[in-house]
Amino acid sequence: MTRVQASVVVLLVLAAAFAGWGGWTYWQAGQPSDAEVARDDALRAGRSGVATLTTLDYQTIDAGFARWLDVATGPLREELSSAQDASKLQIAKAKTVTTGTVLEAAVTELDTSAGTARVIAAVEIMVKPEAGEQAAKRSRFQADLARTDAGWKLTGLAQVPYVPA
């Protein structure tokens, strides 16, 4: 093999290696990072959890509370569980159906190593009393979440007051 042929072979090997590295780098750039996946999962669970906890039909109250407990863990689940009987009586007496729809939501904090996240959400809650007109109410909520073996669950939920600038 001549020097020219050897140089051509070396250049071809280098070009193939560079093309392979470039392709691998391009492919990796299109893949979401672990933090992005965790953020998306937390956001999805936060939206769903807030909608669930702002929705309840007095006619199917036991199923509604079961859904509430299913999306909660830790302190929020304990609070919901301990107040369940009193809340059921109050809701049955009021005879209302509330339906929460999350209009917008965002992850404001994410700690993947601790498995915690915070989501804020703008929610429209439709309140329909047994007798009377349905009314829409808009609220903002902050939801704290924890990653569990069953996925992200809410550990806290608080209404955020509106403060005009």
Domain count of the fold of the chain = 2
Look at residue 7 and tell me whether its pLDDT is greater than 70. yes
pLDDT average, residue stretch 6-12: 73
Alpha-carbon separation of residue 151 from 5, 113, 115, 127, 135 (angstroms): 59, 15, 10, 30, 34
Residue 82's domain comprises 34-160
In terms of domains, do 126 and 46 share one?
Answer: yes
pLDDT per residue over 27-37, tens digit each? Answer: 666 666 788 89
- CATH number reported for the structural domain that contains residue 89 in this entry: 3.10.450.230
In terms of domains, do 58 and 130 share one?
Answer: yes
In terms of domains, do 12 and 55 share one?
Answer: no
Look at residue 21 and tell me whether its pLDDT is greater than 80. no
pLDDT per residue over 40-49, tens digit each? Answer: 999 999 999 9
In terms of domains, do 112 and 139 share one?
Answer: yes
pLDDT per residue over 52-97, tens digit each? Answer: 999 999 999 999 999 999 999 999 999 999 998 998 899 889 899 9
> What pLDDT is stored for residue 80 in this prediction?
94
What amino acid occupies position 122? A
In terms of domains, do 27 and 41 share one?
Answer: no
CB 50 within 8 A of CB 123: yes
CA neighbor of 119 nearest in space, from 100, 103, 106, 138 = 106
pLDDT per residue over 97-151, tens digit each? Answer: 999 999 999 999 999 999 999 999 999 999 999 888 999 999 999 999 999 999 9
Answer with the residue of higher pLDDT: 8 or 5: 5
In terms of domains, do 41 and 83 share one?
Answer: yes
Query: What are 41's two structure tokens?
Result: 């999962």
Residue 72 CB neighbours (<10 A): 23
In terms of domains, do 72 and 107 share one?
Answer: yes
Residue 72 DSSP label: B
> What pLDDT is stored for residue 17 in this prediction?
74
CB 99 within 8 A of CB 125: yes
> What pLDDT is stored for residue 159 in this prediction?
95
d(CA 79, CA 69): 10
The alpha carbons of the chain give a radius of gyration, in whole angstroms, of: 26
> What pLDDT is stored for residue 2 in this prediction?
82
CA neighbor of 65 nearest in space, from 47, 32, 38, 92 = 92
In terms of domains, do 80 and 57 share one?
Answer: yes
CA neighbor of 70 nearest in space, from 85, 51, 89 = 51
In terms of domains, do 13 and 71 share one?
Answer: no
> What pLDDT is stored for residue 76 in this prediction?
96
Residue 92 CB neighbours (<10 A): 12
